[in-house]
Chains A and B, each alone.
Chain A
Amino acid sequence: MVTLSICVGSSCHLKGSYDVIEAMRKLIKEKGTVDDIDLKAAFCLGKCAFDGVSIKVNDKIITGVTPDKVKDVYEAEIAPLIGK
């Protein structure tokens, strides 16, 4: 099980957290990995100064996520952890 937290703190929210969440949910559904990923929200991951939205995959923080980067992030950071 991978814990995926998407920052919805004010700073990330203004940069489009909700669009990232929706893109991620859609992708997870497509991949059929709903049961492998615990999708959560986080209020501030402490990386407010970066462009784009911050997310946390288990304990690793990834910054600069936008809806069109969601797929790449998934393939690079999440897929290897669940082997799907």
Chain B
Amino acid sequence: MPKFDTQVQELKYRILKEVASSYDKGTLDEDIDKIPYIITPHGAKPTFRCCVYHEREIVKERVKLAMGGDKDNPNIVEVIPSACDQCPFGGITVTDACRGCLAHRCAQACRLNCITFENLRAKINKDKCVNCGLCAKACPFGAISNLKRPCEASCKVGAISHRSEGSTAHIDEEKCTRCGACSYSCPFGAIMDKSYILECIDMMKANEKGEINAYMIVAPSISSQFHYAKLPQVVTGIKKLGFHSVVEAALGADMVSYYESKELSEKGKLTSSCCPAFVRYVETSFPTLKQYVSHNLSPMAMIARYIKENDPKAKTCFVGPCIAKKMEMFREDSAPYVDCVITFEELQALIDMRGIDLASLEESPLDNASYYGRIFARCGGLSEAVQEALKERNDPFVVKGVSCSGLEECKRALMMMKNGRSDANFIEGMACVGGCIGGPCCLTHEVRDAADVDKYGRESKEKTITDAVRGIMAID
């Protein structure tokens, strides 16, 4: 059994696998109403909700999302109202741990004089409190906590709100960057990404019939996934699914760093364009900085374009840890090249639906990109690669880069650039904390992930960016 971080992910996976399996056999129409009963069978005890009927209702909604979700909702991320627990969100709250001490550091810390004492316990005047948190920091007992909904706390762009006490989460479609942090953080699994797993199966089948050549483009963060098998076995598994060829997105990353280093030294100031959630964040929240966003395609689209230029029968599917890539495939600049996007969770579901045992497969090599292309998967990798590309091209331009891990750091760097208070000339923007290895649809998030990516990078045949791109650029 594959390992997941949480049971939410496991439930998502089980449903994806059922939907994919029925579709693969051509029986989804008949099976669709049976899936809730497969997940929560007759006679089962409820495991995460009041009753089995509620649980089956949630499964039904997740089945819809596995089949592509609400076509009228432009967002990739959707709230499942029946799954939302309408968590409390009282903000700064005094808990039972308050001991009614003499020092009253909380009251001293409060600049707005919100805190009074009743029955030897601190009491907060909610009409005046602005949830600054100074009292919580001051309390030596940690007796004051900030009650927030996990989804709202995870959304660093403030796109999630509740309309009233006891209402379900609401996503502001305009503000949302599609980073997917909320979907990973919701302990009830009430926020989920739309799936294009059925389109992926269509692609596999068309390839088997010889109608197309299906290419799977794998994100370099795959090196920190599928711990139970070797990466070359995963490659064989993907081919067994019906893909003509497996290509590293990291080779696209090598191409990106080559072009981006040129663009940076020409323009003098730049932000990266690899992370679609970051790009959308700049476009929606910092429109005046849009001009600085690199005009390069993302590594995914860059390599997909290259594949399509060389093979007119090609169709491309990207697999990664990312929800925002599902939005990127509809962007005008990527749409002609990228036909489908799935996640590692979805790939796991596809592999298991066909009963492929990865650990028993022979190995197929996966080696095109350089060390630098591969380390794009972790925060800081892109800046290192751009610096290396400048060096390799003997370009004297000096990079003063800032690598942003997560949207909170992106916000800070962008604010400083906007106000002219930054001496940085290159912003590497990663919407997920840690970079792509922190993506919402990674099977696991572990401390060793960044080290795994670096190790995978060092295994490359090509040691420099120029080496990795010399063959294909020469053909260009």
Contact residues of A with B, CB < 8 Å? 5, 8-11, 13-14, 17-18, 21-22, 25, 39-44, 46, 48
Contact = CB atoms under 8 A, between A and B. Distances in A.
A41 B472 contact: yes
Contact of B245 (A17, A21, A40, A43): A43
B365 interface: yes
A14 B366 CA distance: 9
Number of chain B interface residues as a range: 20 to 34
Contact of B215 (A10, A13, A43): A43
Contacts of B248: 10
A14 B364 CA distance: 12
A16 to B, nearest CB: 10
B311 interface: yes
Given A5-B310, A41-B310, A13 B475 contact: no
- Interface majority SS (helix, strand, loop, mixed), chain B: mixed
Contact of B366 (A8, A10, A42, A46): A10
Contacts of A10: 235, 246, 248, 364-368
Contacts of B366: 10
A22 B467 CA distance: 12
A38 to B, nearest CB: 10
A14 B461 contact: yes
Nearest to B244: A44
Contacts of A9: 245, 247, 368
B368 A8 contact: yes
A8 B471 contact: yes
Interface in B329-365: 364-365
A40 B311 CA distance: 9
B102 interface: no
- The 7 tightest CB contacts between A and B, nearest first, are A18-B471, A44-B245, A10-B365, A43-B245, A10-B367, A21-B471, A40-B310
Nearest to A8: B471
B474 A25 contact: yes
Given A13-B367, A48-B364, 12 more contacts: A10-B246, A10-B364, A10-B365, A11-B364, A13-B368, A13-B461, A21-B471, A21-B475, A22-B474, A40-B475, A42-B310, A43-B307
